Chain A
Amino acid sequence: MINYYTRDWVEAVVSRLRESAEFRSAARKLNGTFVFRVLDGPGNHDRMTTWTFRSGECVDWTYESAATPWEAMRTAEYDNSWIMRSTCPYEMMADLNRGDMSPVRALASPRYQVEGRKTMLLQMMRALNLWNELAAQVEVVYDHDSA
């Protein structure tokens, strides 16, 4: 099993995205870079991942982590070239991935922040839902110490 929100996990999700014909077809309009900041995670680390798509193909990704609180990452300005940046605590990200929390509940919460092109996000909703589904299919351990 893979530890959730580690480099190994990102690699596993990316390979699923690349292998899924259904995703590539549904995600034809998925373009641009998506940034996720996950705070207060295992190993006492914050994390940041970036995922870049070209016509539904995940062409680039990054994973970085640093000891909590990773001030440079937490205070970094939003880059308007991104599609979106979301920020939330690790526990909330884990609840979302487990299906214990609905996306609406996360979005309504003061602990979850989304910046970026919201209208475009809505237009990409079908692809984003499939991305979440594929990510949730990776078998993971949530309670771990890796970063």
Chain B
Amino acid sequence: MSPFVAGVDADVRTTGRESEPEVFMGQILDNEPLSRTDIAFQAPTQIKFGVGKLANLGEELQIEDDLGDLARVVLITDAALAGLGIVDRIRSGFHGSHYDLVGVFDDVPSDSDVRAVDAAAAFVSENNAEIILAAGGGSVMDTAKAAAVVATHGGRVSDYEGLYIVPGPCIPIVAIPTTCGTGSEVSGGAVIKDHDARTKVILGSPYLFPRMALLDPELLRSLPAHLVAYTGMDAMTHAIEAFVSTDREPISEAIALRAVEMLADNLPLAVADRGNTDALSKVQIAASMGGIAFTNAVLGATHAIAHSIGSLHGLHHGLCNAVALPYVMEYNLRTCPARFAALALALGAERAGRTDAEFASEAVERVRSLNASIGIPGTFEGLGLEGDDATVGDITDAAMNDPCLAFNPRPSEYADIEILVRRCVTGAS
């Protein structure tokens, strides 16, 4: 017996082979082999969290060696946030500091657009911005990232489409999220819609990571309950999909699993009461954790389907994820039951002596209950879609070409995804 085990009253299991030492075995995940033998993890964005942190914005920037000597700041945001007073709050956050808010671009549409990127980039250049503040949701932060690329390196946003195309560092971005889901504040990606061409420009580069993410739950107080629910479930989907993806690795895994637990424990509280500072804070932090997890471990079929339904039917990204998530989890269950059993624990289910295979489906049930508790419908029919062949076929066609699908743990052919999409739409098995 190992000296570490002798005399210790613990659950000790052996591998069953005489020559191998007895080992402690964890109770959260089984000791499966690494699904990747080659890992590169990156999370370069500095995260600063604090209730009321925005009021100390100047100090938080000034203390950083690389930001302290810069002065000219441009704010990128949207009209709704400007109407809610974000500009004044940022101005007062700079009060007493040397930072100069030289311009405010508040013309980002709710659904990012290449023209908004061009206009924002021109605005950044005209104002000789040294720091870009991006205060808003995913559309604002992605627009700011793309504008920083164009303002720094010239050309059009489409010149930088793809992975690892941006040639070098850009004007630093301080991301100030006002929703609790996209994870864009900690990611190296940006998705910009080209509404004229009805396409998306997707950029991915290490130079797109914001320099800093400033998380202040005060900024979530005015977010309507349904948007807390939608964006929070987007974050939940990031964490769950990263936890089971083909590109999962232990670093993201740890971050993702804790994010799932924090969201499960706090999202219903935050949806019910934006006065609940602790719940809002944890949802906001968990959303950034989900962002870090999926930036490294990527996503899966839920996002492939949500992207497709979102663009074909104009539904909110987080809402689409929330509806599709339990169906996709069910579809993936048997591929990695131990992972879903761990998720079930994080989501609050009682194992009660059940094996991973028996317990795994509890994760799906917990997500269904969570959805119901925050007003998310059980199917896309509940959102007005029809389960006819043409609707299902169009969604399936788009999902089959979404890069996220390549990272789903269960390999899939067209017919598999078609059945899965039909289930998401109608609920029928």
Contact = CB atoms under 8 A, between A and B. Distances in A.
Instruction: Give the most central of B36, B38, B412, B414: most A CB within 10 Å.
Output: B38
Given A80-B37, A110-B413, A104 B406 contact: yes
Nearest to A110: B411
Interface stretch (A16-24, A30-38, A63-71, A116-124): A116-124
Interface stretch (B85-93, B131-139, B157-165, B345-353): B157-165
Given A80-B37, A110-B413, A104 B164 contact: no
Nearest to B301: A108
A126 interface: yes
Contacts of A117: 38
Contacts of B40: 119-120
Interface stretch (B98-106, B120-128, B322-330, B397-405): B397-405
A80 B204 CA distance: 26
Given A109-B412, A109-B413, A116-B38, A104 B403 contact: yes
Contacts of A141: none
B77 interface: no
B401 A102 contact: yes
Contacts of A118: 36, 38, 247
Give the secondary structure class of A's interface: helix
B247 A104 contact: no
Interface string A108-147: 1111000011111011011001000000000000000000
B188 to A, nearest CB: 11
Nearest to A119: B40
Contacts of A104: 400-403, 405-406
Interface in B375-428: 400-403, 405-406, 408, 411-414
A109 B406 CA distance: 8
B412 to A, nearest CB: 5
A126 B247 contact: no
A59 interface: no
A137 B403 CA distance: 24
A107 B414 CA distance: 12
Contact of B164 (A105, A111, A116, A125): A125
Given A80-B37, A119-B40, A108 B406 contact: yes
Contacts of B36: 118
A25 B402 CA distance: 29
A133 to B, nearest CB: 13
Interface string B260-288: 00000000000000000000000000000
A108 B38 contact: no
Contacts of A123: 163-164
Given A110-B411, A119-B40, A120-B40, 15 more contacts: A80-B37, A102-B400, A105-B401, A105-B414, A108-B400, A108-B406, A111-B413, A116-B38, A117-B38, A118-B38, A119-B39, A123-B164, A125-B164, A126-B163, A126-B165
19 contacts: A80-B37, A102-B401, A104-B400, A104-B403, A104-B405, A105-B401, A108-B406, A109-B411, A110-B412, A111-B413, A116-B38, A118-B38, A119-B39, A119-B40, A120-B38, A122-B164, A122-B204, A123-B163, A123-B164
Interface of B: 36-40, 162-165, 204, 247, 400-403, 405-406, 408, 411-414
Interface of A: 80, 102, 104-105, 107-111, 116-120, 122-123, 125-126, 129
